[in-house]
Amino acid sequence: MRTLKVLVQTTTPARPDNWTVDSFLLLREHLASLQEMDTRFEVTARNRDAPIDAPDAVLSRLDESDVDELWLFALDFGEGGLTPDDCGGITRFRQRGGGILAARDHQDMGISLCTLGGVGRAHFFHTKNPETDVSRLTPDDRGTPAISWPNYHSGRNGDFQRIVATEPVHELLRNPSSPSGFIELFPAHPHEGAVGVPEGEARAQVIATGHSLATDRPFNLAVAFERTTDRPGRGVAESSIHHFADYNWDTSRGAPSFVTEPAGTGMKDNPSGLADIKQYVRNLAFWLAPER
């Protein structure tokens, strides 16, 4: 049986009363439970372990490791995030065939992804690499005034959002258990970040869009990067860490105290919401795997 090694990693050290790698325990358990097509997944989880501006011991040398997939949750606001050495290790990792999922959130959360290139260039922030459509450089969610754009409002934490698969529908969105044959629901979040295909990136595409409940505006949820000659590893840029966080799959798991928005019950009331995101995680795990 083939064993694929998955590293679930944050760009920040563990902090009390904050999002950490322990905020993604349900994701990690689901990844570790997958076993099909003569393949299983071995999951390692860690927070960043380095002082500010010092390279992370694992990320900076990721290409030298036996890791097959990096699931990177960018929780920083610039200071203490990815260093040039970390970005070099991650870039070389993709160049040797490793797969990368990079997720961030609202405004400037995860902004050190800007230094990564490749999958990192698909993320648009408030103070760096903003969306090219200037009409979008304005708050979408106004329920939390302290959080500015990009902050697309797809719903309450604990609810689900109906997604639109872009044509042609990408294999990441297939769900043989769904009547439509496709994934239709993602966990919702009051203020998601922004992603899109970087300029000059011919082998990348937006695979799913969401819909703002605040402004009626569509926005991108995920961008998939196919293999290229110089970058044989696949990649996905995700608009929000909250597509994968415990709190958004099951609000009873709790959240940091600064999360004050009212929670919803959609994921609890409608089991198909959780089934869809688990199928998406399964698809990601197999799709990001290096070629045999």
pLDDT tens, position by position, 76-103: 998 889 999 999 999 999 999 999 999 9
The mean per-residue pLDDT over the stretch 239-245 comes to 98
* Locus of tokens 């992370």: 56
The mean per-residue pLDDT over the stretch 172-189 comes to 96
With CA atoms as reference, report the closest residue to 186 among 211, 151, 223, 218.
211
The mean per-residue pLDDT over the stretch 172-179 comes to 95
Given a cut of 90, whether residue 175 has pLDDT beyond it is yes
pTM: 0.98
CATH topology of domain 2-287: Rossmann fold (3.40.50)
pLDDT band at 133 (very low <50, low <70, confident <90, very high): very high
With CA atoms as reference, report the closest residue to 15 among 75, 97, 90, 85.
75
Give the C-alpha separation, 40 to 52, whole Å: 35
The mean per-residue pLDDT over the stretch 267-283 comes to 96
Kindly list the domain boundaries of the chain, sorted by start residue: 2-287
* Locus of tokens 């698909």: 122
Given a cut of 90, whether residue 165 has pLDDT beyond it is yes
What pLDDT score was predicted for residue 80? Answer: 87
C-alpha distances (whole Å) from 75 to each of 160, 167, 274 are 22, 31, 23
Neighbours of 3 (CB within 10 A): 10
The mean per-residue pLDDT over the stretch 226-234 comes to 94
C-alpha distances (whole Å) from 276 to each of 40, 125, 134, 270, 285 are 20, 28, 33, 11, 14
What pLDDT score was predicted for residue 2? Answer: 96
Compute the mean pLDDT over every residue in the chain, rounded to the nearest whole number. 97
With CA atoms as reference, report the closest residue to 180 among 193, 194, 164, 191.
164
